[in-house]
C-alpha cells in the first residue's frame, strides 16, 4: 500500500467526520505552523512530509536535513496552508515524525557504539508503517534487513522445527528454489552450525549467544565460507562487546521496537502577508 493511502487512512481515523472543533471554532484562514523539537535527536522526515504535501494543500519546508542532529528548541520545519488542513494533519504528522526521529536517534547511538560494525534492523516494525520505520533506521546510519517475507530466504526456529532439522530445512529450500537464492540460516548452537557444512548458505545468524560462545563460532562459520550476523539480546550497554568480535553485521530488533519517540510540537499562527 502506498504511503499516501496509509496517511489518508490515518487522517480518516483521527477525523472520521471532520475536525468538529477546528471547523466550528476558527475560520479557514492562511496560517504558518512551526514544528519545534522539545528534545534533541536525529531528523528523519522526508517521505512523511512529501506524502502529506501530496494529499493535502499544505507546504512543508524542512529546516533540518534528514540524518542531521537537532537540539531542544530547534525549528525542524515550517508548515503553511489553510488553518483547517494544518490542524487536521497536526497529530498524525507529529506522531509519525516523533517516532521516526526516535528510531533514527536510537540507531545513531547503536552505530556510534558499534565502532564500524554495520547495524541492521529487523522486521519488528509497526505494522503497515514499515517503510517509514526502515527509512528512519537509514537516517540514523543503520542498514535495512529484508523488507518482507517475499525477499531473502531466512530459515528460522519454526521452519527447522517443522522440517525436522536446520539442515533439512535448508536442503528443502535449495531443492525447491535452487542455489542462486540468497539464504540466511538462524543458528542456535555449535551443533547446528556444524550441520550446515557443505551446504550453500550465504549467511548464518548466530542468535542469542554469549560473547564467549561467539568467540568460538564466528571463526568456525567463516571456515565454512559463511558470512556472520549476530543478533538477540543486543543492547546499547553490550553492543560494543559484541562488535569487538567483528561479525559482518549486527541486527537489533529494538531499533524499531523500543525506540522512544522524540517530543515534537506544532505551534500555529496567522500568516502575515508581506
Spacing of C-alpha 155 from chain mean position: 22
Tell me the three cell numbers of residue 14: 483521527
As a whole-number percent, the residues of the chain with pLDDT over 70 amount to: 99
Sequence spans of domains, the chain: 3-110+260-270, 152-252
Architecture of domain 3-110+260-270: Alpha-Beta Complex (3.90)
| Residue environment code for 114-126, b if the CB has 16+ CB neighbours within 10 A, otherwise e | beebbbbbbebbe
Give the count of alpha carbons within 13 A of 154, CB side only.
Answer: 16
Burial class (CB in 10 A: 0-12, 13-18, 19+), 93: buried
Query: Considering the chain, what is the average pLDDT of its residues?
Result: 97
Single out the catalytic residue among 8, 146, 156, 257: 156
Max Cα distance, the chain (Å): 74
Architecture of domain 152-252: Alpha-Beta Barrel (3.20)
Tell me, yes or no, if 14 is annotated catalytic.
no
Single out the catalytic residue among 8, 62, 91, 146: 91
pLDDT tens, position by position, 126-152: 999 999 999 999 999 999 999 999 999
Spacing of C-alpha 147 from chain mean position: 10
Tell me, yes or no, if 186 is annotated catalytic.
yes
Q: Collapsing DSSP states into helix, strand and coil, what is residue 17?
A: coil
Interatomic CA distance for residues 85 and 83, integer angstroms: 6
Interatomic CA distance for residues 34 and 44, integer angstroms: 17
- The pLDDT assigned to 270 comes to 83
Single out the catalytic residue among 121, 186, 192, 229: 186
Tell me, yes or no, if 91 is annotated catalytic.
yes
- The pLDDT assigned to 273 comes to 64
Tell me, yes or no, if 157 is annotated catalytic.
no
Single out the catalytic residue among 85, 192, 207, 229: 207
Tell me, yes or no, if 134 is annotated catalytic.
no
Q: How many residues are recorded in the chain?
A: 274
Interatomic CA distance for residues 242 and 166, integer angstroms: 25
As a whole-number percent, the residues of the chain with pLDDT over 90 amount to: 97
- The pLDDT assigned to 271 comes to 74
Question: Low-confidence residues of the chain, pLDDT below 70?
Answer: 1, 272-274
Q: H-helix or E-strand containing 41?
A: strand 41-42
Amino acid at each position: 500500500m502506498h504511503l499516501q493511502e496509509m496517511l489518508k487512512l490515518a487522517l480518516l481515523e483521527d477525523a472520521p467526520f471532520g475536525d468538529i472543533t477546528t471547523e466550528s471554532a476558527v475560520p479557514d484562514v492562511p496560517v504558518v505552523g512551526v514544528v519545534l523539537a522539545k528534545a534533541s535527536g536525529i531528523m528523519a522526515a522526508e517521505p512523511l512530509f512529501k506524502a502529506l504535501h501530496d494529499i493535502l494543500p499544505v507546504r512543508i519546508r524542512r529546516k533540518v536535513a534528514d540524518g542531521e542532529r537537532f537540539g531542544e528548541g530547534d525549528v525542524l520545519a515550517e508548515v503553511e496552508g489553510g488553518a483547517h488542513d494544518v490542524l487536521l494533519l497536526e497529530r498524525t504528522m507529529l506522531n509519525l515524525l516523533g517516532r521516526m526521529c526516535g528510531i533514527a536517534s536510537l540507531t545513531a547511538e547503536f552505530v556510534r557504539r558499534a565502532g564500524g560494525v554495520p547495524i541492521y534492523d529487523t522486521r519488528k516494525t509497526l505494522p503497515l508503517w514499515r517503510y517509514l520505520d526502515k527509512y528512519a533506521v537509514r537516517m540514523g546510519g543503520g542498514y535495512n534487513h529484508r523488507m518482507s517475507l517475499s525477499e531473502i530466504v531466512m530459515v528460522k526456529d519454526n521452519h527447522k522445527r517443522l522440517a525436522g532439522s536446520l539442515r533439512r530445512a535448508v536442503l528443502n529450500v535449495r531443492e525447491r528454489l535452487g542455489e542462486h537464492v540468497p539464504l540466511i540460516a538462524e543458528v542456535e548452537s555449535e551443533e547446528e552450525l556444524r550441520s550446515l557444512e557443505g551446504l550453500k548458505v550465504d549467511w548464518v545468524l548466530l542468535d542469542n549467544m554469549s560473547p564467549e560462545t561467539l568467540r568460538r563460532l564466528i571463526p568456525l562459520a567463516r571456515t565454512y565460507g559463511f558470512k556472520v550476523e549476530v543478533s538477540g539480546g543486543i543492547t546499547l550497554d553490550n553492543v560494543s562487546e559484541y562488535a569487538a568480535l567483528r561479525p559482518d553485521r549486527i541486527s537489533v530488533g529494538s531499533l524499531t521496537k523500543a525506540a522512544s519517540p522524540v517530543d515534537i510540537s506544532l505551534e500555529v499562527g496567522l500568516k502575515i502577508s508581506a
